[in-house]
């Protein structure tokens, strides 16, 4: 069996969390063509959204907005590079930038929740 093409991964219905973070925070992704979006909730995030596009090289370029449980609104953008875990789940390596009164940049990883 050939491994899936990382450039053509289908994100529809896939659930993601930070493997080293709060597992109550889950993002559910959707996809139509190269348009990808998700809803995020749980843990310190009351509600969040992300939307963007899958690029020809398979990466995702997205914007995000989160409303935290303390009422703070966090906005930014992220560039995600997909890889596969040894058991075949999608792992996204994120480079992100946060806007607003406390701008910052960083990297993180989210991965598909095991079925």
**pLDDT tens profile 54-88:** 998 889 999 999 999 999 999 999 999 999 999 99
Strands 104-112 and 15-17, by their bridges, are antiparallel
Percentage of residues in the chain having pLDDT higher than 90: 83
- The SS3 call for residue 109 is strand
Give dist(CA 88, CA 26) in Å, integer: 19
Question: 94, exposed or middle or buried, with CB in 10 Å at 0-12, 13-18, 19+?
Answer: middle
pLDDT value, residue 27: 97
| Other CB atoms within 10 A of residue 24 CB | 11
Does position 95 have pLDDT exceeding 90, yes or no?
A: yes
């Amino acid at each position: 069996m050939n491994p899936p093409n990382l450039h053509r991964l289908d994100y529809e219905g896939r659930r993601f969390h930070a493997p080293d973070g709060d597992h109550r925070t889950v993002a559910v992704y959707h996809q139509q063509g190269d348009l990808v979006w998700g809803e995020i909730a749980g843990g310190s995030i009351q509600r969040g959204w992300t939307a963007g596009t899958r690029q020809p090289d398979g990466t995702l370029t997205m914007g995000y907005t989160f409303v935290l449980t303390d009422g703070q609104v966090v906005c930014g953008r992220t560039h995600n590079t997909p890889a596969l875990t040894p058991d075949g789940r999608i792992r996204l390596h994120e480079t992100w930038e946060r806007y607003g009164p406390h701008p910052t940049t960083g990297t993180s990883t989210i991965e598909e929740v095991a079925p």
